[in-house]
Structure 1
Amino acid sequence: MPTTSYSTPPTEVGSPIPANTPHAISVALPTWQDNVDYEEGRERVVNRMLTGYPRFFINKQVEKLMSICEEKFAKPSESCLLFPNRKATEHCRTYLRRYFESNNPACFRLAEITIVTPDQSKSLTQGNVTLHIIFFPKEAFSVAKSFWQHTGDGISSRLAEFALNILQAKSNEQYTKNLYEVSTKRASFCKRYSNIQTSYSRNLDCEPKGTLFTDITSINDSFVEQNFYVEERYGRNLPMSFAEKAKLELRRRIASSLKIEENKDRLDNIISSSVDLSVLTERLVKDVTENEVFLFPSGMSSIFHAHRFLLTAFPPRKRCHFYGNGSSSDIDEIESLLESGERVLALFCEFPSNPLCKSPDLKRLRTLADKYDFPIVIDETIGNFVNVKVFEWADILVSSLTKIFSGDKLKKVINNEYEDLLWGEDAIVLERNSRTFRERIMKINENAEEICELLRNSPKVKKIYYPKYITPEIYLQYKTVKGGFGGLFSVIFHSDLASQQFFDSLIIAKGPSLGTNFTLACPYTILAHYNELDWASGYGVEPGIIRVSIGLEDKNDLLKRFQQSLDAITE
């Protein structure tokens, strides 16, 4: 079993998790008060944020590229956001027209800017980089940002970095020369960006102010140095010319891994927190090939597009019903709703749920779906298909690894609507990180179960939310033979003060996100529902809940750290 040594996690507020990475998936909020101050927008936290959870925080690379676009092409009263394709900007414009009050429908402008390399035959780059831009009034930024957040379709930080590197090499030849002279190894890196030109490609709805990016300011030297050494020096990444091959390997790996009962040895996937995959197949998951696998740039993006595909394939419905407990009584209410004659577009559920790890009765839901003719969308990210097998009960399966779409109507829609928005470098990193998934999950299962037993046996703990203890009679129906209970659990103590004491003394990485190779914790309700604590409490999500995603560290070391935090509780 793989094991990770445990170094001291980041303790500086706002620093990246993992440390010293420009494309970090989380951000350090080490104390309970740090999380509260972040939610309240306190300057002591907000002004120190070097990164953040990708959908909620615009990466510094993306932010810099946005500022350049604004400087060159925006009106003084405008801001902008960047997307990887035209459809995303059109969707954003539609969203703004609906939710931002304006007397001028023409105040939302779209543009395409393409950055090109003239001699692509000698370049190791992916080729042209096209930025799809929407300009809008500055006062509409918060509304536009909510679209960015809830769709997951914003440009990748690696795409932004790639574009900035090209522009930097063009505008600052001395910088490139200095980098070239450091060593022969680093010189090859510089050659990738030498003799590069940029050009304006085409404009859709506005006129640019002039030549693209002729006066870009320098990128921080140490930042480039750091990223270079992490992802280039040690050979962890392939050149960008391998991007399509990496995507093909990902598709093949996903296709084979879905046949878990037929060929367990080929299950070797893992996903990064910033990318999701989608697989088109029949409900029983037979004969899946790489040609039926589709890639999306993020988990939220794949969920958003699954909903969009459903809206295209079936008549839209006017209402949304929320059943936050996922219990038998909730299903009773759903059945009564359907019996009353109301039709639904689809039913979305988690298996198990986040953060309370409840497992809904999928077989009963499937019976209702077949009787009343609506698709079921199951998000099994928390369980993952190494541990649970829920494919046959879903029409669309959402996971940190896969989405399975069944039905001819959906297949036709997806084939017509799908666009590959996954940036090449993200695909390469994803492929690199997806080679030992099964082994990692088994280790994480073992670690998490031991930690949960420790906490469960402590009188200081009020309750543990873990699939082994929460609705186990349902979870075990779908658990695979060799699977476990996953790496995510939540814990609540007898008082909010006790929760704070435990959290503050816990020596692990602390920030948003889950499913990482390292253990990560956050005060879930504070981060996710700070402005609606009473509402969340109504569904059992109390303010003092701490969510933990267990990683690959040495089990005994983890047990020691969690015991020390239990000992720190004086309440």
Structure 2
Amino acid sequence: MAAPIQTEWFGPIPPAPRHSITFHMPLWSNILQFIEKDPEFFKQFKSMYPRIMPHKDVKELIAKLLATTKSEGQSCIPFSSPESATECVKFATSPARQENAVSPDQISIRIFDVPDVVRLYVVFLPAEKHKVAWPFWINAGVGVSSRLAEDCVKADGWKEVKVDEGVLEVVEVEAQSVLRGRIAGLIERAPVGPPRKAKVSPDDVYLFQTGMASIYSVHQYILSVYNAKSVLFGWAFHSTPHVLEDFGPGFKFLGNGTPEEIDELEEYLKEEAKEGRKIQALYLEFPSNPNLGTPDIGRIRKLADIHGFLLIIDDTIGSFCNVDVLGVADIVLTSLTKSFSGYADVMAASAVLNPSSTRYHELKGLFKKFYTNQFYNRDAEALEKNSRDYMARSVILNNNSLRLVEFLQGMAEDPNSSVAKVFYPTTLPSLPFYKERMRPATADFTPGYGCLFTVELETIEATVAFYDNLNLHKGPHLGAPLTLVIPFVKGIYGKELERLGKYGMNERQIRVAPGLEDIDVLIEEFGIAVKAADEVKKNTFVPLT
């Protein structure tokens, strides 16, 4: 049995460096407060996922910008590219914001050179309108990082400039090219399927500052040519549908990712073709988060070839080392923030173009035209160092996850247990589709099923008892050194639960991201939590009907 968790409530998860991206929220009652978005509650947080709420260094940068410009009654949002700032303004002033839209004369972009660091493009607007523009930061994910903000605050010699005052030169550090080479190597390691026409080179790997930045940016590039609807197939991280809805003509959502929904997709594509339309791209996660379903991407690839849409696959949950989706994808997106980084202290993502795709040259041209590297050098250095032991850590993450799933699945098969169901590639009907894309075992690595699963309890009372009695860290994120547990559905969709029922999600589900701890200790801790839930089940009075 592990010692009781000593981490400060609402503080960063150990080892708790300055740039931690997650936090500890230990009780179910905290989740209920989180859902209500009470500002007084959020004032208690010492750490937060920095794409949702600004990191303390970003807050300091914002404060410095407002003080430097003597902008009383104003707020501001800093970006490292003019395109991002411009899109933020468009978002805030869009008629889609309805009565909350910011008037164009209330919002502006000002430019600041921070010597040897960055050129900042800063959106200024009235403080009371900040909440209208902030969802752009949350969902597009293109805001400045905490390390970049830290360096800006420390720098001297700031200068406000005009748009046409030349270019601020910032040279890429070696870590950026090392990362591109490392990712290209991982993509091509132990490939699945027949030989490929061409191999991924480092020049086919593009780095972004967050996972959502990669999705948003790729979507924007494609929109610039086609401006057509997309499809989101299977459940996806909550910001993805916001991006597809807020930018462009919208999307069709097929949220279960089942073979039956591929049938529905096929009919939809035929109907669109009859009307002279086609979708520009289909996005999916492999597997999905948080219900771990795996779609039949081979069949979807055939539809992509027939109907001419791009197939864009996010392999974050499966992870480079375990699965190879390049054989069917035109673009592979990966949140490097998760298990690739592994230490919960840097945000990053990659987009990899498939050089064997028939659309490769078209995509290469789009990236050449639109891509600018906004991944900050110091973040690149942190990520390069973190990812050196990615494969070694993945062995443990895979094993710990599988062992815990087997332990809890055994309980789910016991009618007396409060455990109702376990969601993991190995427990779901979609397992064959996952196995089709598993990399073959090599002398140095045997692939697994990833470091995320969801456990469902029979009742909400049992769920609360399980969560409150689980002596592990409670917070968002996955792929960290320490196990992280969170009622993901309740916390993210707490006020939309009725809508989620048809997608197999409910408030009795707890998402688990096993870490690197001793597996016997983890199993013991989960056993204690299940016992507490079982006691609640045993003592709950159920009236006869």
Question: Could you state the TM-score of these two structures normalised by the residue count of structure 1?
Answer: 0.79
**What pairs up with 1:95-114 in 2 under 5 angstroms?**
95-98=91-94, 99-100=96-97, 101=100, 104-114=103-113
> Is it true that 1:400 corresponds to 2:335 in the alignment?
yes
The one-letter code sitting in structure 2 at the alignment partner of 1:302 is: S
CA offset at residue 19 of structure 1?
5.0
CA offset at residue 6 of structure 1?
6.8
Q: Is the 8 A contact 2:281 2:310 kept in 1?
A: yes
> Is it true that 1:478 corresponds to 2:437 in the alignment?
yes
- Provide the residue aligned with 2:380 in structure 1: 427
Per-residue deviation, residues 531-564 of structure 1 (Å, max 9, x unmatched): 2111112211111110001111111111111111
Q: Is the 8 A contact 1:377 1:394 kept in 2?
A: yes
What is the distance in 1 between the residues matched to 2:531 and 2:197? 48
CA offset at residue 360 of structure 1?
0.6
**Larger CA deviation: 8-17 vs 150-159:** 8-17
**Selected match of 2:472 from 508, 519, 523:** 508
SS in 1 for 2:105: helix
Per-residue deviation, residues 318-358 of structure 1 (Å, max 9, x unmatched): 34111110011111111111111241111111111111110
Q: Is the 8 A contact 2:311 2:330 kept in 1?
A: yes
The one-letter code sitting in structure 1 at the alignment partner of 2:180 is: R
**Selected match of 1:465 from 413, 423, 426:** 423
Q: Is the 8 A contact 1:26 1:511 kept in 2?
A: yes
- Provide the residue aligned with 2:182 in structure 1: 253
> Is it true that 1:67 corresponds to 2:60 in the alignment?
no
Closer, same or farther: CA 333–102 of 1 in aligned 2, 3 Å: closer
CA offset at residue 200 of structure 1?
1.3
- Provide the residue aligned with 2:242 in structure 1: none
CA offset at residue 399 of structure 1?
1.7
CA offset at residue 365 of structure 1?
0.6
- Provide the residue aligned with 1:199 in structure 2: 158
- Provide the residue aligned with 2:142 in structure 1: 153
CA offset at residue 73 of structure 1?
2.0
What is the distance in 2 between the residues matched to 1:437 and 1:18? 19
CA offset at residue 286 of structure 1?
3.3
> Is it true that 1:303 corresponds to 2:251 in the alignment?
no
Q: Is the 8 A contact 1:13 1:45 kept in 2?
A: no
- Provide the residue aligned with 2:131 in structure 1: 142
> Is it true that 1:452 corresponds to 2:405 in the alignment?
yes
CA offset at residue 31 of structure 1?
0.8
Aligned identity (percent) is 31
> Is it true that 1:51 corresponds to 2:47 in the alignment?
yes
CA offset at residue 293 of structure 1?
2.1
**Selected match of 1:379 from 287, 306, 314:** 314
SS in 1 for 2:121: strand
The one-letter code sitting in structure 2 at the alignment partner of 1:141 is: H
Q: Is the 8 A contact 1:10 1:28 kept in 2?
A: no
Closer, same or farther: CA 448–76 of 1 in aligned 2, 3 Å: same
- Provide the residue aligned with 1:277 in structure 2: none
> Is it true that 1:91 corresponds to 2:103 in the alignment?
no
What is the distance in 2 between the residues matched to 1:136 and 1:427? 31
What is the distance in 1 between the residues matched to 2:150 and 2:380? 15
Q: Is the 8 A contact 1:243 1:428 kept in 2?
A: no
What is the distance in 2 between the residues matched to 1:394 and 1:493? 36
Runs of 4+ off more than 6 Å: none
Structure 2, unmatched stretches of 5+, are 165-169, 230-248, 337-349, 355-359, 412-416, 441-445, 538-545
SS in 1 for 2:292: coil
CA offset at residue 488 of structure 1?
0.4
Structure 1, unmatched stretches of 5+, are 117-126, 167-196, 206-240, 264-282
Per-residue deviation, residues 264-317 of structure 1 (Å, max 9, x unmatched): xxxxxxxxxxxxxxxxxxx94833222332211111111111111111243433
**What pairs up with 1:524-563 in 2 under 5 angstroms?**
524-563=488-527
**Selected match of 2:224 from 307, 312, 327:** 312
Q: Is the 8 A contact 1:466 1:490 kept in 2?
A: yes
- Provide the residue aligned with 1:439 in structure 2: 392
How many residue pairs match? The answer is: 473
**Larger CA deviation: 313-322 vs 82-91:** 313-322
What is the distance in 1 between the residues matched to 2:9 and 2:389? 32
Per-residue deviation, residues 235-262 of structure 1 (Å, max 9, x unmatched): xxxxxx9961111111111122221127
The one-letter code sitting in structure 1 at the alignment partner of 2:76 is: C
Per-residue deviation, residues 397-429 of structure 1 (Å, max 9, x unmatched): 112344222421111010111111111111110
Closer, same or farther: CA 380–79 of 1 in aligned 2, 3 Å: same
The one-letter code sitting in structure 2 at the alignment partner of 1:408 is: H
What is the distance in 2 between the residues matched to 1:284 and 1:534? 45
Per-residue deviation, residues 442-483 of structure 1 (Å, max 9, x unmatched): 111111111111111112210000000111122111122231
Per-residue deviation, residues 475-508 of structure 1 (Å, max 9, x unmatched): 1111222311111000001101111111111111
Closer, same or farther: CA 431–202 of 1 in aligned 2, 3 Å: same
- Provide the residue aligned with 1:339 in structure 2: 270
The one-letter code sitting in structure 2 at the alignment partner of 1:13 is: W
**What pairs up with 1:183-198 in 2 under 5 angstroms?**
197-198=156-157
**Selected match of 2:484 from 501, 504, 520:** 520
